[in-house]
Amino acid sequence: MSTENAQAIDPHANTLATLERVLGDGVLALSHNRDNLRVHVPPTRLLDTLLTLKDECGFNLLSEVGGADYLGYTGEIRFRFEVHYVLRNLDTGEWLVVKTGIDDAESPSLPSVTPIWKGADWMEREVFDMYGIKFVGHPDLRRILMPEEFTAYPLRKDYPLRGRGERHNFPRILRSDS
């Protein structure tokens, strides 16, 4: 089958062929959601996958980094946290979602992708702030939404809906003082 025919049947055919060539067979698990391809990779192959997608497949825009906590989920998910990266190839209009799972609830961590995409800086900080997932190698990993004194991670499933009374522990800043 020619490359053009394969591309007409599956717009992600060239991307998948490149990933399999670079990363090896059996590393990737795939799923589709509507017309979006989702590539599931182990954390150890995350940087290789993202570098390949940027350098060889033309995914030059990182549009989102997000997280999820699967505590108590009864589906097929085998890990506690998931981090996803939404990529866009601006030349072809192709979208791709790269997902990876982390099972360490005490100290979850992944390598930072800020050396690949500078725009990942604040997105990784937001995931860190809300879920407590550390991004190793991040140039300035600190809270971005919550106060520095806040010790919990509010989007984790084990965080109580009403909080733990933290709001009353912070100094009150009036508009005239800011």
Of the pLDDT bands very low, low, confident and very high (cuts 50, 70, 90), residue 168 is low
Whole-angstrom CA distances from 11 to 5, 39, 84, 92, 118 are: 10, 14, 21, 9, 27
CATH number, domain of 95, equals 3.30.460.80
Q: Mean pLDDT in the chain?
A: 85
| Domain interval for residue 137 | 3-177
**Chain Cα centroid distance, residue 151:** 22
Q: Please state, in angstroms and rounded to a whole number, the distance separating the CA atoms of residues 14 and 35.
A: 15
Q: What angle do CA 152, 156, 161 make, to 5 degrees?
A: 80
Nearest one of 167, 139, 140 to 152, comparing CA atoms: 167
Please tell me the chain's helix, strand, coil percentages from 3-state DSSP, rounded to the nearest 5.
Answer: 30, 25, 50
pTM listed for this prediction: 0.83
Structure tokens that stand for 17 in this block: 């062929």
Q: What is the pLDDT of residues 27-72, one digit of tens each?
A: 677 777 777 788 899 999 999 999 999 998 899 999 999 999 999 8
| Count of domains forming the chain | 1
Q: What is the pLDDT of residues 62-88, one digit of tens each?
A: 999 999 999 988 888 789 999 999 999
pLDDT the model gives residue 23: 74
Structure tokens that stand for 158 in this block: 């084990």
